[in-house]
Chain A
Amino acid sequence: MAWYAARRLLQMIPVFIGATLLIYAMVFLLPADPIAALGGDRGLPPAVADQLRAQYHLNQPFIVQYGFYLKGLLTGNLGTSFTQRPVADMLAQAFPTTLKLASMTLVIEAVAGIGVGLWAGIRKGGIFDATFLVISLILIAVPIFVIGFAGQVLFGVKLGWVPPTVGANVNFKTLLLPAFVLATASFAYILRLTRTTVVENRNADHVRTATAKGLKPGRVISVHVLRNSLIPVVTYLGTDVGALLGGAVVTEGIFNIPGVGNLLFTAIKRHEAPTIVSVTVFLVMVYLISNLIVDLLYAVLDPRIRYA
């Protein structure tokens, strides 16, 4: 187990370096002049452009530039926004909110997705199964911003159950609607994945053996079917954190939640490239770390991995 964890950590290092290098290269080696692009249609004041060139060591070779960038990243220096606020400070302020939203979303999608998926898998071919298969397809097909606006108008404006926007007032109640909106697509994916693995596991030989031992159906389902089906679902939840953070950009924008996604949302609207880069890299880091946690969790769930 310790070796497994160590190996995973070691494997993360090249992926991290590679991913940041990739992002850096994509933004700074593109044919378009990044500094000129920052100004958008209005153009950039020459003083700001010079300052930015110095800040990003643009007169140095690429790999040196990247070295400076990585050094800044590791020392927590993520640069400053146009308003001269350190991006790191902005992230520190916004991240707890996003974390709240993301955890609520994860709980909603996992509980609902696994629950519905399990039931649909057990009652495969039934009316419940068929209904939720269609619902899941629709939820996957309709983009999150359409669902977000629809939810906002329906529950926030028409019905008035929840405030339509969050603003500074971040709490469980105000985050509930955004969390549900953010959870929709992943809920559908988890439902489908759970259903597939439950159906597969229910036909597994070892489940038949468990039944032949004289176990009650409830125990067969919970101890042998569900337990084994959770392994791929947990893996999915890990990779889903990435989609969640990407989706949070839209959701936080729509509901005006002061989180990391919103930071990115407003930075995009204002064409603040340095902030966009820093926030994206931060989100990629969060994603990598959550994947690492899931990998370790995976080893806990599947004993075969620990010794592999």
Chain B
Amino acid sequence: MPDAPQTTYRPGQAHFFADLDQTPLLGAVDAPDETSAPTSLWKDAWLQMRSRPLFWVSAVLIVLVIMVAVFPQLFSRTDPSFCDLSRSVGDPRAGHWFGFDFQGCDVYARVIYGARASVSVGVLTTIGVTILGVLIGSAAGYYGKWFDIVLSRVTDIFFAVPLLLAAILVMSVFSTHRTVVLVAIVLAVFGWPQIARITRGAVLSVKNNEFVTAAQSLGISKPGILMRHIIPNAMAPVIATATVSLGVFIVAEATLSFLGVGLPASVVSWGGDISRAQSVIRTAPQLLLYPGGALGLTVLSFIMMGDVVRDALDPKARTR
């Protein structure tokens, strides 16, 4: 040491400094790391999802379900509406693996062909609620003031009517026009408030960010900022919720069909088949279990996917 000051030290408190080779200063102050591969938020999310088995399980299931819904004839060559009462509640046999239902229709074929109704209602409704919810929620959150007051109150009103009750009510008025599109519209009309609330919350938290003020300082118009900066940043929780609700809407459709106010008997649907299996539930529970299981598995795959997506996109909920 150049000029050791004449100080006395307590044990362990002497003037100490580390060897430079043990504590090298790591380069220039705040030098950027150019070696790592560039990543974006989406890429990060993808890497995170990819590492989870749950993602692959649900992805395979979802692809399978969608394949079945779009090309049922690839999976079953039997006509689901060809029924023969002489085979009523018949046992499984070659080519008819799940046996026959009360009307003597092939259960396997009905399970395969039933996928289309469920998946279409789920997808259509989800598209509907996402469009409605994001439009209303982001407008309320971004424009604020009286716009927010009115839109939030409207959201409250729709939120106050439980989805299933509202759907039962409206569907029971239609005895003739019950189609997949109608069920989807009815569910979407009463199902959007959840997405709207989530979007509004996300927009509110994004809009306070300084990059939004920076965009204002550039002179970008309000709708421009909403579209360019705010909505893309507010989408993560919406995507996760929408994926889960896809499953929830499939259940809702099945429940309506089960209650007899959903799709008519002429449309092959899991809910309807479960409803008809009621009468023979004690003697032939398998008639309930096949469509019930298919329904459960489909919904499960979407809910699991929603879970994985939420974990990957929402750092707050991410399992640390």
Distance of A145 from chain B, by nearest CB (Å): 5
B303 pairs with A140, CB closer than 8 A? yes
Distance of B5 from chain A, by nearest CB (Å): 38
B296 pairs with A152, CB closer than 8 A? no
Chain A, interface residues (CB within 8 Å), range: 35 or more
Q: Tell me if B243 is interfacial: C-beta within 8 Å of chain A.
A: no
Q: A142-B292, A145-B258, A157-B282 are in contact. Are A246 and B161 (CB under 8 A)?
A: no
Distance of B192 from chain A, by nearest CB (Å): 13
Inter-chain CA distance A84–B274, complex, in Å, is: 33
Q: Tell me if B68 is interfacial: C-beta within 8 Å of chain A.
A: no
Q: Tell me if B160 is interfacial: C-beta within 8 Å of chain A.
A: yes
Inter-chain CA distance A27–B161, complex, in Å, is: 14
Inter-chain CA distance A264–B261, complex, in Å, is: 12
B165 pairs with A146, CB closer than 8 A? no
A143 pairs with B173, CB closer than 8 A? no
Q: A14-B153, A264-B168, A273-B173 are in contact. Are A145 and B274 (CB under 8 A)?
A: yes
Q: Which of B168, B247, B285 is close to A268, meaning CB atoms less than 8 Å apart?
A: B168
A253 proximity list for chain B (CB < 8 A): 259
Q: Tell me if B125 is interfacial: C-beta within 8 Å of chain A.
A: no
Q: Which residues of A244-261 have CB atoms within 8 Å of chain B's CB atoms?
A: 245-247, 249-250, 253
Distance of B249 from chain A, by nearest CB (Å): 12
Q: Which of B156, B165, B278, B307 is close to A280, meaning CB atoms less than 8 Å apart?
A: B165
B174 proximity list for chain A (CB < 8 A): 30, 32, 37
Q: Tell me if A298 is interfacial: C-beta within 8 Å of chain B.
A: no
Distance of B315 from chain A, by nearest CB (Å): 12
Q: Which of B164, B177, B300 is close to A246, meaning CB atoms less than 8 Å apart?
A: B164
Distance of B193 from chain A, by nearest CB (Å): 11
Inter-chain CA distance A284–B169, complex, in Å, is: 12
A18 pairs with B169, CB closer than 8 A? no
B304 proximity list for chain A (CB < 8 A): 137
B260 pairs with A269, CB closer than 8 A? yes
Q: A14-B153, A268-B261 are in contact. Are A141 and B168 (CB under 8 A)?
A: no
B259 pairs with A250, CB closer than 8 A? yes
B168 pairs with A249, CB closer than 8 A? yes
Q: Tell me if A22 is interfacial: C-beta within 8 Å of chain B.
A: yes
Distance of A12 from chain B, by nearest CB (Å): 9
Chain B residues touching A, majority SS: helix
Q: A157-B282, A249-B259 are in contact. Are A143 and B292 (CB under 8 A)?
A: yes
Q: Which residues of A83-135 have CB atoms within 8 Å of chain B's CB atoms?
A: 124-125
Inter-chain CA distance A149–B283, complex, in Å, is: 12
Q: Which of A146, A149, A276 is close to B168, meaning CB atoms less than 8 Å apart?
A: A276
Q: A40-B175, A271-B175 are in contact. Are A146 and B296 (CB under 8 A)?
A: yes
Q: A137-B304, A153-B285 are in contact. Are A22 and B258 (CB under 8 A)?
A: no
Q: A142-B292, A276-B169 are in contact. Are A137 and B251 (CB under 8 A)?
A: no
Q: A40-B175, A153-B281 are in contact. Are A26 and B307 (CB under 8 A)?
A: no
Inter-chain CA distance A37–B282, complex, in Å, is: 34
Q: Tell me if A81 is interfacial: C-beta within 8 Å of chain B.
A: no
Closest chain A residue, CB of each to CB of B320? A203
B278 pairs with A149, CB closer than 8 A? yes
A143 pairs with B251, CB closer than 8 A? yes
Q: A144-B255, A250-B255 are in contact. Are A280 and B169 (CB under 8 A)?
A: yes
Q: Tell me if B263 is interfacial: C-beta within 8 Å of chain A.
A: no
Distance of A275 from chain B, by nearest CB (Å): 10
A15 pairs with B160, CB closer than 8 A? yes
> Given A145-B255, A245-B162, 7 other A-B contacts at CB below 8 A?
A37-B173, A138-B300, A141-B303, A246-B165, A268-B172, A273-B172, A276-B172
